[in-house]
Amino acid sequence: MSLLEGILLGIVQGLTELLPVSSSAHLVFAQSLIQGFKQPGVLFDVVLHVGTTVAVALFFRREIGEILVALLPKGYRRSLSGRLDTALNDGWVGTRRRFLLYLIVATAITGAIGLGFKDVIHELFESVELAASMLLVTGILLFLSDRVKNPVRTEAQMNLLDGIVIGVIQGIAVLPGISRSGSTITFGLFRGLEGETAARFSFLLSIPAIAGAAVLEARHAEAIPQDQIAVYAAGGLAAAVVAYLTLKFLFLVVRKRNLRFFAYYCWIVGAAVLALNLL
């Protein structure tokens, strides 16, 4: 894999990981076009995911900071209230602590699914046909999400079942072609969460999930050829930069409830890839 190919794959990842169109499917498609492409396990894919996760952490740095502040003793919180420009009352603190609890529960469920099927997952990432088929499923979910009427529940109104459902869905989204962001945001909407709340929970949930995948795949790091280290680094950096810019666009789309346009894209790409493989 050349440096240019690594950067191009990073750009593909940065665009498609955060947009609800399945980065895994697009990486499978793009990598199939690179002659002789190989990676230890799915380590290169994980490096690209880590790049997008860094972008997510930077984009949501305020929300992450608020959750951490909510865990502090009351005296310490008071000293930070001016910097956060918000009143750190018991309701504010309780909401963020519950939000963290739901993130932990969802992460545990996702981790259990990922660990249980990790060997199967590696094999699935070699199937272009499966990725294309699952992309069609992603399109159906996105199309249906725009049919949900009045999803108005906010972060303060989330409950434990929301975390459980979204955690299960994120675990299933390890299948190539099932968009992690698209499926988790969609099921958040199905649960009645407003779009921005569902998206915020989805992306914050991605941070521990991808960090866990990175730890699991780190065992393959020694297998990276020396001449490929710069390629991996460049791909991760490209993914991070593009992902940060993509997040700004996505939240505009979520506010306007226009996810169905991504559904059309998923259907067109999935059907085209399946047709080309049949031919």
* HEC string for 189-212: HHCCECHHHHHHHHHHHHHHHHHH
Global pTM reads 0.80
pLDDT for 165: 95
pLDDT for 143: 92
Helix or strand run (H / E) with residue 145: helix 128-145
pLDDT for 109: 93
pLDDT for 267: 94
Residues 6+ apart with CB under 8 A from 176: 22, 24, 25, 27, 28, 124, 125, 127, 130, 131, 134
Q: Give the tokens for residue 96.
A: 């963020």
pLDDT for 168: 94
Query: Shortest CA distance to 44 belongs to which of 239, 209, 179?
Result: 239
CA distance 257 to 259: 6
CA distance 227 to 79: 50
Helix or strand run (H / E) with residue 233: helix 229-256
Q: What is the pLDDT of residues 203-250, one digit of tens each?
A: 999 888 777 777 766 666 676 777 778 888 898 899 999 999 888 888
pLDDT for 220: 65
Q: Give the tokens for residue 161.
A: 């079942």
What does each of the 279 residues of the chain score in pLDDT, given as a tens digit?
Answer: 788 888 988 898 888 888 888 777 787 788 777 877 776 656 777 888 888 888 989 999 988 988 888 887 776 656 555 555 455 566 778 888 999 999 999 999 988 887 777 667 666 666 788 888 889 999 999 999 888 887 889 988 999 999 999 999 988 888 888 888 889 999 999 999 998 899 999 999 988 877 777 776 666 667 677 777 888 889 889 999 999 988 888 888 887 777 888 899 999 999 998 898 877
pLDDT for 106: 94
- CA 101, 105, 107: angle at the middle one, nearest 5? 115
Q: Give the tokens for residue 93.
A: 């603190």
Provide the strand spans (E) within 36-96.
none
